[in-house]
Amino acid sequence: MQEEKLLRYIKGEINSEAEIAAILDWIESSPENQKNYTQLKNLWVVTGLEHPDQVDVPVFSFPGNQQKNIPRNLYGSLLKYAAVFVLAFLMGSLTLYFINRSEYNALSAQYNTIDVPYGERSRITLYDGTKVWLNSGTKFKYPVVFSSDSRKVTIEGEAFFDVAKDKKHPFVVHAGKLQVEVLGTRFNVCAYPEDNEFSTTLEEGSVNVMNPASGKFAKLNPGEQLVLNRETDGLKLRKVDIDLYTSWKENLLKFDDATFEEVIKKMERWYDVKITVALGINTKERYTMTIKTESLREMLQLVSRTTKMNYEIKESTVLIKNP
């Protein structure tokens, strides 16, 4: 990023939304860019100069064996420079406070959105160090910068969070009717808008989960899962095998006594297909299996070992029919 363009942005001389978006993306892309931008802005606010190399700061050397022999007029000069520096620093800090607060609030109100299509999975690291795994068919929204009091994100779909610890800034996940608040922990949230149930599964640490609409609240311990029924707003807390709900981030699908309906639903998202089940197929079968690198055809063959059926694959559609 050219320094001249950054200075024009700092001075409010850029009006193009495309250019502003490109600059904000560049600033956010790395801690080094954020640092360079902040330094340049600080220098502009304090000095009014257009280039950092125009700043002329006096440098004094104090060899240990000569420190006691510094002449009085040098002390006076030092005090003068010190007074000017402190005054400039205080004035600049106050100016920066108001300028940065305004800009900071504006940035915290802007969001980035990631859409993960069916059949794909993704992983990102937020600028606070939090790692997020996103499952198939998930939409994830997070602010350009977190606000000064919390770290709020929104998901539709499924995500696993490894939250960086920050006691002063709670990490809050909004997922449909669920709101999950943590300081630093590892947990999974599943909240596909088409599902009747939303869930939070805790692997490590502790989380507070609530339904803001009903005011119902629960605190989870490791190995526990909270399930919200969207129709009744009821909450159900239970002990679970964590791997069944988090192994997807390792590209594994695990089922333990899962219903045929549950298997079909996960297959559709995992392989990005639409599955139609013909009348007469026994849908009451339950499945316990682990799927790793199997193709769609191999997955269907595994299912057919329990359920008597044939199948037909046509591009992105699958018909499960009677044998």
Closest CA to 248 of 315, 180, 160, 129: 160
Instruction: Please state, in angstroms and rounded to a whole number, the distance separating the CA atoms of residues 223 and 155.
Output: 22
Per the CB < 8 A criterion, the answer to whether 41 and 78 are in contact is: no
Does 35 share its domain with 135? no
89, containing H or E segment: helix 72-108
Q: Are residues 13 and 137 in the same domain?
A: no
Task: Please state the pTM of the whole predicted model.
Answer: 0.67
Residue 127's CATH number: 2.60.120.1440
Cα-based angle 290, 296, 301 (whole degrees, multiple of 5)? 70
Q: If you average pLDDT over residues 36-41, what whole number do you get?
A: 69
- 230 and 117 in a single domain? The answer is yes
When mean pLDDT is compared over 92-96, 104-108, 161-165, 229-233, the highest value belongs to: 161-165
What DSSP letter does each residue of 218-261 carry, written as one string? EEE-TTEEEEEETTT--EEEEE--THHHHGGGGT-EEEEEEEHH
Q: How far apart are CA 265 and CA 321, in angstroms?
A: 17
- Are the C-beta atoms of 309 and 322 separated by less than 8 Å? yes
Q: Do 116 and 239 have their domain in common?
A: yes
Please identify, among 244, 277, 312, the residue that sits at the C-terminal boundary of a domain.
Answer: 244
At residue 320, φ and ψ (nearest 5 deg) are: -100, 120
Residue 59 pLDDT level (bands cut at 50, 70, 90): very low
Given the structure tokens 């800090």, which residue do they identify?
Answer: 93
Higher pLDDT, 37 or 300: 300
What three-state secondary structure class fits 271?
A: helix
Q: What is the CATH number of the domain that holds 281?
A: 3.55.50.30
Query: Domain total for the chain?
Result: 3
User: Same domain for 116 and 215?
Assistant: yes
Tell whether 146 and 170 lie within a shared domain: yes
Looking at the fold, whether 195 and 239 belong to one and the same domain comes out as yes
Report which of residues 272 and 102 the model is more confident about.
272
- pLDDT bucket at 293, cuts 50 / 70 / 90: low
118 and 231 share a domain?
yes
Q: Which of 78-82, 188-192, 243-247, 264-268 has the lowest mean pLDDT?
A: 78-82
Interacting residues of 10 by C-beta distance below 8 A, sequence separation 6+: 40, 41, 44
Which range of residues forms the domain containing residue 313?
Answer: 252-321
In this structure, how many other beta carbons lie within 10 angstroms of the beta carbon of residue 287? 17
Q: Tell me 322's DSSP state.
A: -
Residue finishing a domain among 61, 77, 108? 108
Q: Is residue 168 a contact partner of residue 144, using CB atoms and an 8 Å limit? A: no
Say if residue 177 is in the same domain as residue 301: no
Judge if 191 and 280 occupy the same domain.
no
Same-domain status, 206 and 117: yes
> pLDDT-derived band of residue 304, with 50, 70 and 90 as boundaries?
confident
154 and 65 belong to one structural domain: no
| Residue bearing the bigger pLDDT, 303 or 28 | 303
| pLDDT exceeds 90 at position 160 | yes
